[in-house]
Amino acid sequence: MRKKIAIFILIGWALLIIGDRVDELRVYQGAQVAMYTIALASIVLLTGYSGQVSLGNGAMMAVGGYGAALTLNNLGTPIWFAFLMAIVTASLFGALLGAAAARVSGPYLAGTTLALAVGLPAIANQFAFLGGEPGLFFDVGFPPERFGDEFTQYKWFFWIACFIALIALFITSNILSSRFGRTWKAIRGNSLAAELCGVHSSRMKVLAFTVSSGLAGLAGAVLAMTISLVAPGAYGLALSFALVTGAVLAGISSLPGVVLGALILVFIPEISVALADRLGDADKLNNYLPGLIVSVLLILSVIFTPNGPGENLRKHLHKKPAH
């Protein structure tokens, strides 16, 4: 445990140094990587460990984002409390959904959560208190003045996002290596066998949904912070599909792999711009290329590395010490 804490502190320290060395675009992208890391961790926990396939994590992010924004805007609470409320709101919603989801599995569960991803963000359009299509502002404020004029808003986002991501990953990795993680794995492997061993599989599935939703909600609030906004369009179907792709590329049961998945998701638009510039008519191509790249990567990954390149990398790294 001490070593793990030391590693997380080391990574945090490295990120602080990196934040000072790179230009502002990379700092902004760094905050996005942190956001995706948390979101992908929620999928790894739910799908990789408890075996429940969800296509609706974008919707759970929306619940967290709106929970945080409503808390901050209406109650004027400190920012950390808004993030906490994002977790609480999404967890409660996840518990309700989990109770229903525990009754279905496989493609039926995927279908149910897909419906959620399609429908939930659009609900915001119908309620004025949720801000309609333009959404609600989520303003975490300027960085403290003592950091100086050179300390930009995006660096502030980067710091907050990385801090939250490190804590979220630390807690998640501990949960996954605890009794709960082992139980979820047992359910995923063979639900009937797990029940014969005394595991209450439905209850544990609901718990997995609740914890995963809390993480997704937290990612939703971090996303809202990086764009200063919660709006239905930010949590659309494309986000849910991108997350699934990221999780598959990361290796669906590999928690450290989520960093790789998050990096791929953030840098797909970069690849798209580079490709579009080479192919010509960049403006038009840029509208469609990111979606195409995500789809192609997902298909190639499923064909050639069913467990994801992240999982393969992890196995490769694990093999070396034994040789």
Binding-site ranges for other proteins (CB under 8 A) = 3-4, 7, 10-11, 14-15, 18, 21-26, 28-30, 33, 125-128, 132-135, 137, 139, 152-153, 227-229, 231-234, 254, 256-257, 259-260, 263, 267, 273, 283-284, 286-287, 313-314, 317-318, 321-322
The neighbour count for residue 225, using CB atoms within 10 Å, is 28
DSSP secondary structure string for all residues of 226-237: HHTEE-GGGGSH
Closer residue to other proteins in complex, CB, 3/179? 3
Closer residue to other proteins in complex, CB, 33/53? 33
Question: Minimum CB separation from other proteins for residue 92, in Å?
Answer: 25
Question: Minimum CB separation from other proteins for residue 290, in Å?
Answer: 11
Closer residue to other proteins in complex, CB, 94/217? 217
State the residue for tokens 């195409």.
292
Closer residue to other proteins in complex, CB, 201/272? 272
Q: Which residues pair with 137 in a beta bridge?
A: 229
User: What's the longest Cα–Cα distance across the chain?
Assistant: 62
User: Considering Cα of 240, then 135, then 140, then 32, what sign does the dihedral take?
Assistant: positive
Q: How far is CA 309 from the centre of its chain?
A: 18
Closer residue to other proteins in complex, CB, 187/229? 229
Closer residue to other proteins in complex, CB, 51/135? 135
Question: Minimum CB separation from other proteins for residue 268, in Å?
Answer: 13
Question: Minimum CB separation from other proteins for residue 322, in Å?
Answer: 8
Question: Minimum CB separation from other proteins for residue 12, in Å?
Answer: 10
DSSP secondary structure string for all residues of 31-88: HHHHHHHHHHHHHIIIIIIT----S-HHHHHHHHHHHHHHHHHHH---HHHHHHHHHH
**CA distances for 57 relative to 114, 125, 210, 243, 266, angstroms:** 9, 19, 12, 8, 17
Question: Minimum CB separation from other proteins for residue 23, in Å?
Answer: 5
